[in-house]
Amino acid sequence: MTDRTTLEKPPSPPARSRRAALAGAMFLMATSAIGPGFITQTTVFTAKLGAAFAFAILVSVLADIAIQLNVWRVVGVSGMRAQELGNRVLPGAGYGLAALDVFGGLVFNIGNVAGTALGLNALLGLDVKLGGALSALVAIAVFLSRRAGVAMDRIVIVLGAAMILLTLYVAFVSEPPLGDALRQSVAPETVDFLVITTLIGGTVGGYITYAGAHRMIESGLTGADNVREINRSAVTGILVTGLMRVLLFLAVLGVVAGGVTLAKENPPSSAFQHAAGGAGLRLFGVIMWAAAITSVIGASYTSVSFLVSFSTFVERHRNRLVVAFIAVSAAIYLLIGTAPAKLLVLAGALNGMILPFGLGVLLWAAGRRRDLLGGYRYPVWLLALGAAAWLLSLYLGWNALSDLDDLWK
């Protein structure tokens, strides 16, 4: 008997359902990237580089587009998840990719739950343990609904739009130096390549790389006939992420350009409070909670999507497993407060391996295994773009692995 809460997988969705599914996949990718770490990174780097951070944002967005165009194209045309392609290209590779993704997703999901707690604390003054528990229940409710796929698509779209609009307001009231930011987006006074690679890893690293693409194929939107829609959705998803990054950058830039020194213990909260007073602190709470709860949903959904290929039991009970994934993440957070620093270092290193490993498998399938893509002739220019992105991902992965030295200090 089929689990009634299993995400629907229709063979040929009608046009309206197709648009809704693509919008959901696009926003799932975008909101999975826009998490607590995204907000903190953007704030800290803006305070460090000032208007020159605009250049780092531009370069990272272009690299993200190159990566996601290839991931969505290969997964979408083949109709197979990344781990399925991995096992077809190299037996066992899919299992390895799944193991890396699930472990990294679990550890970072603990941080996502912590982010929801911080958001509700800033918004309502709730105790962080209570806020984390309540937020986990909200995420669990999404996957207990009868139409879990539709519920997930709607909540990430609504909360994603809310984050953008609220951050736009704060960016407006903070009065950033727009001319300077625009000029330095192409002629920066300072270039920090470590910042650029950190942004790329945070936007398309780990489970985030596959969040939207897996949701897309599980909605039935696959095959070469849908390439145009696949491309548009991949690019738009990254642009949504980039838009949020730009707005957050401008909001913080307006504050630091005015000579304000942000509080070290919580730079984003400090920036929003300086920009809009007490209301700014509440807005920060809403934005942080929305970013964190959608990341909880995205991390949990995508991590379990890496397991469904290996067992019919997992496929039948996948939403219950997503619920269990969220519950375990929340339980660990409630027990230890947040993920231990050394565990986060290990998970970050493993996530750094996921991008070059997984992208390499997909590019091999695109260039050497046309049979896996139904005979589809993969564009040479896109393959070359993907190869360049893969070389960059190797550099990102090497940097992540070098952080493992911290485990032994």
Residue 349 structure tokens: 């290193």
Taking the C-alpha atoms of residue 260 and residue 174, their distance in angstroms, rounded to an integer, is 12
Q: Is residue 7 part of a domain?
A: no
Q: Give me the mean pLDDT over the 308-337 stretch.
A: 92
What's this model's pTM, rounded to 2 decimal places? 0.90
Residue 347 structure tokens: 């998970």
Q: Give me the mean pLDDT over the 229-238 stretch.
A: 90
Quote the pLDDT of residue 309.
87
Residue 234 structure tokens: 């991949």
Of how many residues is the chain composed?
A: 409
Q: Quick one: angle between helices 267-305 and 227-256, nearest 10?
A: 160
Looking at the predicted structure, is the pLDDT value of residue 346 above 80?
Answer: no
Quote the pLDDT of residue 349.
67
Quote the pLDDT of residue 14.
61
Q: Give me the mean pLDDT over the 300-323 stretch.
A: 92
Q: Is residue 57 part of a domain?
A: yes
Tally of domains within the chain: 1
List of long-range contacts for 142-148, beta carbons under 8 Å, 24+ apart: 142/297, 143/5, 143/300, 143/301, 143/319, 143/322, 143/323, 143/326, 144/5, 144/319, 144/323, 145/5, 146/4, 146/5, 147/8, 148/5, 148/6, 148/7, 148/319
Looking at the predicted structure, is the pLDDT value of residue 394 above 90?
Answer: no
Looking at the predicted structure, is the pLDDT value of residue 3 above 50?
Answer: no
Q: Give me the mean pLDDT over the 381-395 stretch.
A: 92
Residue 305 structure tokens: 């999507």
Q: Give me the mean pLDDT over the 164-188 stretch.
A: 95
Taking the C-alpha atoms of residue 384 and residue 277, their distance in angstroms, rounded to an integer, is 49
Over the chain, what is the mean pLDDT?
A: 88
Quote the pLDDT of residue 22.
80
pLDDT in tens, 274-296: 999 989 999 999 999 999 999 99
Taking the C-alpha atoms of residue 262 and residue 59, their distance in angstroms, rounded to an integer, is 26
Quote the pLDDT of residue 199.
87
Q: Is residue 5 part of a domain?
A: no
Going by the DSSP 8-state scheme, the letter that residue 4 receives in this structure is T
Quote the pLDDT of residue 148.
85
The torsion angle over the Cα atoms of residues 133, 139, 143 and 145, rounded to 10 degrees, is 90
More confident residue, 404 or 307: 307
CATH number at residue 230: 1.20.1740.10
Q: Is residue 8 part of a domain?
A: no
Looking at the predicted structure, is the pLDDT value of residue 77 above 50?
Answer: yes
DSSP output for 243-303 = HHHHHHHHHHHHHHTTTPPPPSS-HHHHHHHHHHHHHHHHHHHHHHHHHHHHHHHHHHHHH
Q: Is residue 2 part of a domain?
A: no
**Which burial class, exposed, middle or buried, applies to 7 when counting CB atoms under 10 A from its CB (0-12, 13-18, 19+)?**
buried
pLDDT band at 219 (very low <50, low <70, confident <90, very high): confident
Q: Is residue 166 part of a domain?
A: yes
| Summary count for the chain: helices (H), strands (E) | 16, 0
Residue 313 structural domain: 16-406
Taking the C-alpha atoms of residue 321 and residue 265, their distance in angstroms, rounded to an integer, is 35
CA-to-CA dists, residue 356 to 16, 81, 336, 349, angstroms:
35, 16, 32, 12
Looking at the predicted structure, is the pLDDT value of residue 207 above 90?
Answer: no
Q: Is residue 366 part of a domain?
A: yes
Q: Give me the mean pLDDT over the 16-27 stretch.
A: 78
Q: Is residue 6 part of a domain?
A: no
Taking the C-alpha atoms of residue 152 and residue 157, their distance in angstroms, rounded to an integer, is 9
